[in-house]
Structure 1
Amino acid sequence: MTPETRPLRILMTNNTLSLRAGSELYLRDLAISFMKRGHFPVAYSRTLGAVANELRAATIPVIDDLNEMAIAPDIIHGQHHLETMTAATHFPHVPVVYTCHGWVPWPELPPAFPNIMRYVAVDDLCRERLLTTHGIEPEQITTLYNFVDLKRFHRVRELPEKPGSALVFSNTRPEIPQAIRQACDRLGIDKVDIVGQASGNAVAHPEMILADYDIVFAKARSAIEAMASGCAVVVADKERLAGMVTPENLATFQGLNFGIRTLQQQAFTSDNVERELKLYNAAAAGRVTQAIRSSADMEAVADAWIGLYRNAIDRWRELGPAITDEARFAAISEYLAGALSPRIKAADQNIRDRKNAEAELARVSREAEKVPELEKKLRNERAEHEKELAAARSKSNQIKSSKLKFILGRLKL
């Protein structure tokens, strides 16, 4: 067996392996695909849960302590900043491929470290984040667009000419937005459902239900899964709206992972939702489904990943021996000072600010509790003053009356 064909032991990191969300499922699906190809994936996270259980059920080891791994992996597939750096420093002689899944969150911040050989962006916006991170060269970056497991999502809907059902497919929405309800009502779309974590209606197997709906409101991975299932998709987030995916905008939307940059386009109002729903076209949606099932097949992406791993291992064989322990410790020092320390200090300051704000709120609340008592005291004092004033007026009137009587008496004399 040659180095180009031998199975790889792949340590895969993620910030959690609990909720069924984007990067968790990305890792799960790739790990299972690698296992079926004869490789040896191992999943690592400090927070375990449902996805960890699914991996174990698929015979893939899951650990929350790197000391449990007695043998060094051949390659580290890094997802999320802290978990990647934990693995990279624990196994300093193992090459790393880091995956950037997002533009905004700090856990997606790309680290620069000597044994990180390659970087992967899941869309064009993540590539921009990598290109604007100090220490990352363009030739180190590869873009692999998000994928769908076509073996799981094999049910493909035949859409009617006029839509009659819609699904809000989101982990962040607690209920169906009024804008969607109103727009669907006006267009005669009677069946509108919601699934996801926030609504309390999470589904472990979306492939079993997506093909039951004509239109799906979703973003990112969820949108890709819905398109692969034959649904017409309106890309939407909790408070933002991109629009109906069409053959004309598919390439642009896919390049941005049907995500945050696409969601800058229009306000989430019932009129805008209705306008996008009116773009529904069964034939056009069918062409989108065909294109996604052709371009976003997980197996092709898994092939690309294995190629990247082998490339990173070859590159490490060339560069690794020249990296001294002094250089590694210097890189760790720079990482602590430049990347980690400012975040920890900022978080600590935020905690202090929050505590100060809570203390001030408690003080104001205590003062507010005194208001009724102060009002009562003021009312009593006012009543007392009014009594004293009335008594003074009465006495003054008596004196005036006495003086008047005295004067009248003298006048009679």
Structure 2
Amino acid sequence: MRVLMTQRELLQAGGSEMVAVEVARTLSERGHDVVVFCPKVGDMARMLLPAGARVAQELRDVPWTPELIHGQHHLPAMAAVARFPGARAIYHCHGTMPWVERPPFHPRILKYVMMCEWMVVRAQAELDLPPERVTCVPNFVNTTRFSEVRQPPETVRRALLFGGPALPDAEFDRLNGACAALGIELEWIGRAYQNVQPRPEIFLQDYDLVFGIGKSALEAMATGCAVIPVIPGQAGQLITDASFDHWAHSNFGPRYFMAATQIGTLWLKQQLEAYNPADVAAVTARVRRERTLEGAVDRLEAIYRDAAAAPAPALSADTSFAPYLERLAKEVDALWLEREAVPALRKRVDELEAKLFVRAPRKRLPRLRSLLLRARYAWQRLARRGDIL
């Protein structure tokens, strides 16, 4: 089958980026002809080439008319749907927020694929999608890449805060303090902590316990680490063989209304009381059996076949709207990210002003004044750009 995947960027490792790369590679290795349309590419795009999958930064460079569009991210997916009016499509949804992830509506999007059952229920209620058009392909791990499995130790000594959204400073300090109080060394890796490392299949081997959610949690479990999900404002429980299905329902992340537990020493002590090396090994075996890349692609191929066999709605063959959407896919994300950065930078400017005029020792004034002027200039420049949105 000729499959066109869409992806907003392939710049550095992330959840949807790795889904695009790993699924495209596997489809290509199985004999499908695969092109990934991605307006912004970087080193990650080269990961597709050894398997024969290709990358197109513009839709006019796609060498054929796709039989199926595997859409990821709102604008690139809709640009592809507009450019190829005869192609059926599915939309692979990794979240309903922010807007770049939000599922678009179109008659030729025949199936919406969610990454956990919690999202299936939410999409049906929030987006008013018919149940027959929504399905789930659970998050997965490339067990060929994560080939080494560590032996869980009897006692937890090293922990890692891995991926996910950044914890607020107060919660980060509480987690660090809780680990220290229990004799655990805590480290952190991820984009949110300005510490991206590209080889989790290697560095996860060094940790007994991982605080993570989603794909990060799955990768840690597949490696033989114990996992506790945490997000800003909510602390989860140690994932055990008995609680695995409960956490899998929500993609291994705490959700609102599940609990009000907060990060702290007592909470962490209670979780570690449930730690059992044999149970960690059982969870690892389950992940490596039930959550494989190969199994996920099997399910996606079945969805492709059903979509390809479905009668396509009769629509106009006019493609004139496609270049407009394609241009938006290239430019609007950058404008949106700049606008999002303005409040954070404004807060930083205020903090620097407070240090400069209230608390700063005299010898630090020149340095702080320089930082303040640079920050104020950057904030004003972003604010001016944001005015055009």
TM-score, structure 2 length as denominator?
A: 0.77
Q: In the alignment, which of 157, 162, 178 is matched to residue 155 of structure 2?
A: 162
Deviations 1:99-145 (A, max 9, x none): 11114322222222121111111112221233135563211222111
Question: Aligned partners of 1:306 and 1:201: how far apart in 2?
Answer: 36
Question: Aligned partners of 1:262 and 1:62: how far apart in 2?
Answer: 38
Secondary structure, in 3 states, of the residue corresponding to 1:158?
coil
Q: In the alignment, which of 266, 274, 286 is matched to residue 269 of structure 2?
A: 274
Instruction: Give the 4+ runs in structure 1 shifted more than 4 A.
Output: none
Secondary structure, in 3 states, of the residue corresponding to 1:106?
coil
Q: In the alignment, which of 72, 79, 90 is matched to residue 72 of structure 2?
A: 79
**1:253-402 correspondence to structure 2 within 5 Å:** 253-259=247-253, 261=255, 265=259, 266-315=261-310, 318-320=311-313, 323-325=314-316
Bigger Rg, structure 1 or 2: 1
Secondary structure, in 3 states, of the residue corresponding to 1:84?
helix
Q: Is residue 2:197 matched to residue 1:206?
A: no
Q: Is residue 2:225 matched to residue 1:231?
A: yes
Secondary structure, in 3 states, of the residue corresponding to 2:192?
coil
Secondary structure, in 3 states, of the residue corresponding to 2:151?
coil
Instruction: Give how far 1:148 is off.
Output: 0.4
**Equivalence for 2:29:** 36
Higher relative contact order structure (alpha carbons within 8 Å, sequence separation ≥ 6): 2
Of stretches 125-134 and 11-20 in structure 1, the one that deviates more from structure 2 is 125-134
Secondary structure, in 3 states, of the residue corresponding to 2:247?
helix
Question: Aligned partners of 2:237 and 2:98: how far apart in 1?
Answer: 24
**1:233-252 correspondence to structure 2 within 5 Å:** 233-252=227-246
Q: Which amino acid aligns with 1:245?
A: I
Confirm or deny: 8 A CA contact 1:171 1:199 kept in the other structure: no
Question: Aligned partners of 1:97 and 1:312: how far apart in 2?
Answer: 8
Instruction: Tell me: CA distance 1:159–1:108, structure 2 relative to 1, closer, same or farther (3 Å).
Output: same
Question: Aligned partners of 1:135 and 1:217: how far apart in 2?
Answer: 34
Confirm or deny: 8 A CA contact 1:35 1:41 kept in the other structure: yes
Confirm or deny: 8 A CA contact 1:75 1:94 kept in the other structure: yes
Q: Is residue 2:112 matched to residue 1:119?
A: yes
Secondary structure, in 3 states, of the residue corresponding to 2:176?
helix
Secondary structure, in 3 states, of the residue corresponding to 1:72?
coil
Instruction: Give how far 1:263 is off.
Output: 8.9
Aligned-pair identity (%): 32
Q: In the alignment, which of 77, 81, 85 is matched to residue 88 of structure 1?
A: 81
Structure 2: tracts of 5 or more residues without a match: 354-389
Q: Which amino acid aligns with 2:88?
A: P
Question: Aligned partners of 1:263 and 1:107: how far apart in 2?
Answer: 25
Aligned positions, number:
330
Deviations 1:207-251 (A, max 9, x none): 012122111111100000000111100111244321211122110
Secondary structure, in 3 states, of the residue corresponding to 1:216?
strand
Question: Aligned partners of 2:137 and 2:195: how far apart in 1?
Answer: 31
Confirm or deny: 8 A CA contact 2:96 2:103 kept in the other structure: no
**RMSD between aligned alpha carbons?**
3.0
Secondary structure, in 3 states, of the residue corresponding to 1:11?
strand
